[in-house]
Chain A
């Protein structure tokens, strides 16, 4: 009896190990992250009329999925985001690998930035990309500042290596004692 239960426990834990990484590798070719419904009526200011109601944060399932983020990374080049943001370091557009956000670094805020565009030169991709690809891009954008689980973030570049892989980037923090140039 004891032996049987031992075997049972062992095989059960082996099974959990087997399936633990399934979601990471799942390839949904025709799905939207379920909890990230349309957010086009996103509130852009903290000011609110009447009694403040809490906005539940949007959870983007693509941030736990290696395939979706790899697709986001590919789209980041395909859609020429690299032309303005380089590979995250910034050029005409602001860097996306630091902890400084002009329009917010939450999933729904990054989504809104890409869909709506922003006044100082960020083009709007409304209607130019299906929503699920924008969610993939948003997940990838957040991986550049280490805000996604490291076991799902892209591990390497397929081409030139311009920076360390996203899964070994530490979460970006504001720099406290910025040296001053007199």
Chain B
């Protein structure tokens, strides 16, 4: 009998100690996380820096994203206010109960005394809170429903600008479709759109599911293999905005980015005219050698340069590669040095990418770069 009691006590003692040590660990850990590690401040600056810029849903540049932004702020303010109220009530309850307890002790009264009037008042407050919760949820539901409707009902223009976007692991193929096929344009990782005109996107994928997301202009839309999804949006402000694949799609998902350049209709038309041209023919001997290197080694198996016999469809169309701001799906700015690094060892820049390394002699590489740089 006695030993049983002892055992039980010891067990309890041990349990208490375990709980205590866990508590201490958690306490130390959070303290360290929050104050010593500067993580707190890093997080804070992250939170604050996310609001503006060329890849932010809170810096809208079109009607639809403006709607989404409004909805976001509505949720933010209402939820923030509710959070503050709940915290205030919690603190009030905490201090009040202490005060009352003190008073009760001094007058040697029992801790809890039934007080029907007070009970009723508190009951009404709870009922009111339930009603407010339901109303707030309904307001949210209606607001998000209305936003969804508004975002999806952007009227298509009479002759919409149609852009076909095909997701590849890990780059974006962009095709502008014209009624006359020879006017089609094939781009990669860079979309130009005229300001103020709705653009219809047709999204497809060749391998796995990707997701098309330009936060400043619209929400996300998935690209699904074997199934075409469409999506209309419009930019109201000129600017360059970052887009990003938003559905994990393999090794280089993070480096599957693109830019959207929204520009005035005149600039857009000039761009279209330039992109419709065939590639620039090499002028100097070095450039001619560069073209020869391109056509006679691996490159032509995978890449197209219009106006040459290279018509591979595995990688991006390089007819106007020098006109792009970035290469390799937003991984690197398009400079000669980066281009050279990419061609020599793409596996270093994007491990697993579907372009093999190349080992050229330095003369051949220079010639190749010289040639690629002329493809404006």
The one of A78, A132, A159 that contacts B302, using a Cβ cutoff of 8 Å: A78
> Is the pair A130, B357 in contact by a Cβ cutoff of 8 Å?
yes
A128 touching B298 in the complex, CB below 8 Å, given contacts A27-B352, A78-B314: yes
State in angstroms the CA–CA spacing of A29 and B251 once bound together. Answer: 12
| B373, CB-defined interface residue at 8 Å | no
> Is the pair B347, A29 in contact by a Cβ cutoff of 8 Å?
yes
A127 touching B297 in the complex, CB below 8 Å, given contacts A78-B302, A133-B356: yes
| B207, CB-defined interface residue at 8 Å | yes
State in angstroms the CA–CA spacing of A30 and B352 once bound together. Answer: 9
Could you pull out 9 A-B pairs where Cβ atoms are within 8 angstroms? A27-B352, A29-B347, A30-B348, A127-B297, A127-B298, A129-B301, A130-B357, A132-B356, A158-B225
Question: Which B residues between 278 and 323 are near A, CB-CB below 8 angstroms?
Answer: 296-298, 301-302, 314
Question: Which A residues between 17 and 66 are near B, CB-CB below 8 angstroms?
Answer: 27, 29-30
State in angstroms the CA–CA spacing of A151 and B13 once bound together. Answer: 53
State in angstroms the CA–CA spacing of A159 and B226 once bound together. Answer: 8
State in angstroms the CA–CA spacing of A76 and B348 once bound together. Answer: 24
The residues of B that contact A127 with a CB separation of less than 8 Å are 296-298
| B351, CB-defined interface residue at 8 Å | yes
State in angstroms the CA–CA spacing of A74 and B348 once bound together. Answer: 21
The residues of A that contact B348 with a CB separation of less than 8 Å are 30
| A79, CB-defined interface residue at 8 Å | yes
A159 touching B297 in the complex, CB below 8 Å, given contacts A29-B347, A78-B314: no
The residues of A that contact B358 with a CB separation of less than 8 Å are 130
Smallest CB-CB separation from B207: which chain A residue?
A158
Known pairs A29-B347, A30-B348, A74-B354. 11 more at Cβ < 8 A? A30-B347, A30-B357, A78-B302, A79-B301, A127-B298, A128-B297, A128-B298, A129-B301, A129-B356, A130-B298, A130-B358
Against B, the Cβ 8 Å flags (1 = close, 0 = not) of A126-170 are 011110110000000000000000000000001100000000000
Smallest CB-CB separation from A129: which chain B residue?
B298
State in angstroms the CA–CA spacing of A158 and B169 once bound together. Answer: 13
State in angstroms the CA–CA spacing of A130 and B345 once bound together. Answer: 13
The residues of A that contact B347 with a CB separation of less than 8 Å are 29-30
The residues of A that contact B207 with a CB separation of less than 8 Å are 158
| Shortest distance from the beta carbon of B138 to any chain A beta carbon, whole Å | 45
The residues of B that contact A27 with a CB separation of less than 8 Å are 352
| Shortest distance from the beta carbon of A50 to any chain B beta carbon, whole Å | 38
The residues of B that contact A29 with a CB separation of less than 8 Å are 347, 351-352
Question: Which B residues between 219 and 235 are near A, CB-CB below 8 angstroms?
Answer: 225-226
Interface centre among B345, B347, B356 (most CB of A within 10 A): B356
Give the bracket for the number of chain A residues in contact with chain B: 10 to 19
The residues of A that contact B356 with a CB separation of less than 8 Å are 129-130, 132-133
> Is the pair A128, B301 in contact by a Cβ cutoff of 8 Å?
yes
State in angstroms the CA–CA spacing of A74 and B225 once bound together. Answer: 16
State in angstroms the CA–CA spacing of A125 and B358 once bound together. Answer: 15
The residues of A that contact B208 with a CB separation of less than 8 Å are 158
Smallest CB-CB separation from A30: which chain B residue?
B347
| Shortest distance from the beta carbon of B331 to any chain A beta carbon, whole Å | 15
The residues of A that contact B301 with a CB separation of less than 8 Å are 78-79, 128-129
State in angstroms the CA–CA spacing of A159 and B358 once bound together. Answer: 30
The residues of A that contact B297 with a CB separation of less than 8 Å are 127-128
| Shortest distance from the beta carbon of A138 to any chain B beta carbon, whole Å | 16
Question: Which A residues between 50 and 109 are near B, CB-CB below 8 angstroms?
Answer: 74, 78-79
| Shortest distance from the beta carbon of A177 to any chain B beta carbon, whole Å | 42
The residues of B that contact A74 with a CB separation of less than 8 Å are 354
| Shortest distance from the beta carbon of B180 to any chain A beta carbon, whole Å | 28
| Shortest distance from the beta carbon of A28 to any chain B beta carbon, whole Å | 10
The residues of B that contact A79 with a CB separation of less than 8 Å are 301
| Shortest distance from the beta carbon of B354 to any chain A beta carbon, whole Å | 8
The residues of B that contact A129 with a CB separation of less than 8 Å are 298, 301, 356
* 5 cross-chain pairs, A with B, having the tightest CB-CB distances, nearest first: A29-B347, A130-B356, A78-B314, A30-B347, A29-B351
The residues of B that contact A158 with a CB separation of less than 8 Å are 207-208, 225
State in angstroms the CA–CA spacing of A126 and B319 once bound together. Answer: 25
State in angstroms the CA–CA spacing of A158 and B225 once bound together. Answer: 9
State in angstroms the CA–CA spacing of A128 and B309 once bound together. Answer: 14
Question: Which B residues between 310 and 357 are near A, CB-CB below 8 angstroms?
Answer: 314, 345, 347-348, 351-352, 354, 356-357
| Shortest distance from the beta carbon of A144 to any chain B beta carbon, whole Å | 21
The residues of B that contact A78 with a CB separation of less than 8 Å are 301-302, 314, 354
State in angstroms the CA–CA spacing of A78 and B356 once bound together. Answer: 13
Smallest CB-CB separation from B169: which chain A residue?
A74
The one of A130, A132, A159 that contacts B225, using a Cβ cutoff of 8 Å: A159
Smallest CB-CB separation from A27: which chain B residue?
B352
| Shortest distance from the beta carbon of A82 to any chain B beta carbon, whole Å | 13
The residues of A that contact B302 with a CB separation of less than 8 Å are 78
